[in-house]
Structure 1
Amino acid sequence: MATDTLQQNDTLADFDARSVTLGGICKKVYVAGSGPAVIVMTEMPGISPHVARFARWVRDAGFTVYMPSLFGIDGAVPSAKEGMAVMQRACVSAEFRALAANQTSPVTLWLRALARLAHQQCGGPGVGAIGMCFTGNFALTMMLEPAVLAPVLCQPSLPFNDPAGLEIAPDDLAAVRDRLERDKLTVMAYRFAGDKYCKAERFAAYQAALGERFVARVLPDSAAQREGLSPFFEHVVASPHSVVTAHLIDEAGQPTIAARDEILGFFAERLLGT
C-alpha cells in the first residue's frame, strides 16, 4: 500500500465485516483470507489504515485474519483530538483495565471466545494472536484459551501509570506461564528502545515472570518512521512506538520490516509448520 494511501481513510472493503456475538456481547469483526486464523487486535485509537495494512500482510502470508473492532472509527486516519477522545473513553470503559496493574481486562474473555470460534471455523493446529499498544498484552492473556499457540505482544502499553506493571491478574499470569512451559511455547514481544508508553521496565517484568519463554526484541529509535505520521502519532504518541504499523519503514533491510517478517514467520512456524 502506497504511503499516500495510508493518509486516507480505508474502506476495509476487502474484508468481510461480520457481527459476532459471544457470551451475549456483539462486536464487529473484519475477516479476510484463508488458512489458520490469526487475531489482529488494533492499537489505539482504532483500526487505522496502518493496522489494516498489517492485517493484509498477515492475510497474504496464508492466514485468515480476524480483526475485531474494539474502539475508535474503523478505517479512519486518527486525528489528535478524536484519538485522545477515544483513548479517554477506553480508559474508563468497563472492558479495559488501563490504569491498574495485576488485573486482567474483561474484554479478553470475549477475545478468547473469538479465538476459539476462529479455530473452529478455520481449522489447523491452532490460532495466532497479536496485540498492539492498548491491546498489547491481550495476546498473552489469550493463552488461557488452548487454541492460541502463537502470541505476539507489540509495545504493550497497559497499565499507563506503572511502567513495570503487567496488565494481567497474578493467577492468570501463573496459568499462562504453566502452559508455556507445559506446551513448550514462546511469546514474541517488540518495542522501540525510547518508547515512552512501553518502557524497559515492562519487558523486564515480563522476563522475570516468564523467563526464557518471553522472547524480547528491542529496536533502536533510529529504526522508526518519522515522516508522514498522522496527527495522533505525531502529537499525542510523540515517540517511537508502533513497530509494525505507524512507525514501520516499508523498505527492504529496515529493522521494522525484519520484525514484521519475523512475526509472520512465527505464525507460519506455529500454525503452518513451515
Structure 2
Amino acid sequence: MTHRTMTQDDPLDDFDHLEFTFDDATKVVHVAGTGPAVIVMTEMPGISPHVARFSRWVRDAGFTVYMPSLFGRDGAVPDAEEGAVVFRRACVSAEFRAFGANLASPVTIWLRALAKQAHETCGGPGVGAIGMCFTGNFALSMMLESSVLAPVLSQPSLPLDEPGGLDIAPEDLAAVRSRLERDDLTVLAYRFEGDQICRAERFAALSSALGDRFVGRVLPDSAAHREPPSFFQRHVPYPHSVVTAHLIDEAGQPTIAARDEILTFFAQRLRP
C-alpha cells in the first residue's frame, strides 16, 4: 500500500466514487478492490485519512471495500471545530439515534440494502461489516440482512446517554442472537479499557444478549496512540479509536494485532 500521511486531507483517488439509492435515500459510496465485499462504516466525524487507511488494509487483504459517506467531509483530517459541527448535526439527524436505547438508527436499513447489493455484485459466501464509534453498533443491526456473515463492532458508542444501552430494538436483537446460533456465527468487538464513551457496561450488555457468540476484546490504554488529530485531542481526550486514530502503526502493537485479527476474521468467513 502506498504510504499516505495522516496529517493531510486524503483525496481518496484510488477509490471509485459511486452513488447508491435505496428508499429515496442516495449516498456516495467509495469502492475499491476485488473479492468478497466488506462494508466499512466511518467513525465520527467522517471518513478521515485514518479510516481510509483501514479501508485500504481491507482492500489489500483481498476484499472489495465499500466505504459509505454517512457524515462529514470525505477525506478530511478530523478538525476540532469542524468535527464538532458534524457531531452536533448527526446527533439531531433523523438517520441516527444518538440517544435512547432499544431502537436501531434508521440508516441501518439503507446499510442493509447496500450489503445486499454488494453481495450480489461481488459474490462469495457473504459480506463483512465493521462499524466504528458512532456507527459501531450498526454492524450488529446489519445481521438482519442474511448476506452479512462477519460483523465487527469497534468501540460502539450509541446510545450516548446510556453506557449499558444498545442501538437495536429488543426483537431485532433476539433475531440476531437466533441467527448467530443457527448459522454458527460470532460478533467481534473492540474497545480500550479507559474509553469513556464505549464503556465496560456496553460490552457487558452485548455479552448478556449474545452469550458466547459475542467475542469482546479490551485493549490497555497504554496501547493507544498519544497524538491523534485535533478533534480527538479536544473532544475525545482518552483512548477510543482502536483501528484508526488511536492505532499505532508499528509491528507488535496491540492495535495492529487487533487489525490483523479483524482481517483474519473477514477471511475466515468470506473466502469460500
Q: What TM-score, normalized to structure 1?
A: 0.98
Letter in 2 for 1:251: E
Distance 1:4 1:16 in 2: 18
Q: Which residue of 1 aligns with 2:38?
A: 38
Counterpart check, 1:147 vs 2:147: yes
Deviation per residue, 1:225-253 (Å, 9 max, x gap): 002x2110111111100000000000000
SS of match in other structure, 1:26: strand
Q: Tell me the residue number matched to 1:56.
A: 56
Residue of structure 2 in register with 1:29 after alignment: 29
Structure 1 letter corresponding to 2:219 = L
Query: CA offsets, 1:33-89, max 9 Å, x none?
Result: 000000000000000000000000000000000000000000000111111111111
Q: Is 2:247 aligned against 1:251?
A: no
2:19 aligned with 1:6, yes or no?
Answer: no
User: Residue 166 of structure 2 aligns with which residue?
Assistant: 166
- Matched position secondary structure for 1:5: coil
Alignment correspondent of 1:236: 235
Match of 1:80 in 2: 80
Instruction: Report the CA distance between 1:100 and its aligned residue.
Output: 1.1
SS in 1 for 2:215: strand
CA pair 2-117 structure 1, distance change in 2 beyond 3 A: closer
In 1, Cα distance between equivalents of 2:24 and 2:113 = 11
> Alpha-carbon deviation of 1:4?
7.5
Mean Cα displacement is larger for which, 244-253 or 2-11? 2-11
1:186 matched to which residue of 2? 186
Rounded to whole Å, the distance in 1 between the matches of 2:21 and 2:13 is 22
Q: CA deviation at 1:198?
A: 0.2
User: Would the alpha carbon gap of residues 14 and 191 (structure 1) be closer, same or farther in structure 2, given more than 3 Å must change?
Assistant: same
For the residue of structure 2 that corresponds to 1:201, the secondary structure is: helix
Structure 2 residue aligned with 1:137: 137
Which one-letter code corresponds to 2:113 in the other structure? A
Q: Which moved more, 1:78-87 or 1:132-141?
A: 78-87
C-alpha deviation, 1:3, in angstroms:
8.5
- Aligned position for 1:266: 265
Measured after TM superposition, the shift of residue 194 of structure 1 is: 0.2
Residue 19 of structure 1 and its aligned partner are, at CA, apart by 1.1
**Equivalent-residue separation in structure 1 for 2:68 and 2:4 (angstroms):** 25
> Any gaps of 5 or more consecutive residues in structure 2?
none
C-alpha displacement of 1:158: 0.3
Secondary structure of the equivalent of 1:131? strand
| Identity across matched positions, percent | 74
- Corresponding letter in the other structure for 1:139: A
CA RMSD of aligned residues (A): 1.1
Amino acid aligned to 1:160: L
C-alpha displacement of 1:20? 1.0
Q: How does 1:201-220 map to 2 (within 5 A)?
A: 201-220=201-220
C-alpha distance in 1, partners of 2:18/2:2? Answer: 27
Letter of the 1:18 counterpart: L
- In the aligned structure 2, how far is the partner of 1:242 from the partner of 1:149? 23
For 1:78 and 1:184, locate their aligned partners in 2 and report how far apart those are by CA, in whole Å: 38
1:217 offset after TM fit, Å? 0.3
Distance, in Å, in 2 between the alignment partners of 1:107 and 1:48 is 20
- Report which stretch shifted further, 139-148 or 229-238: 229-238
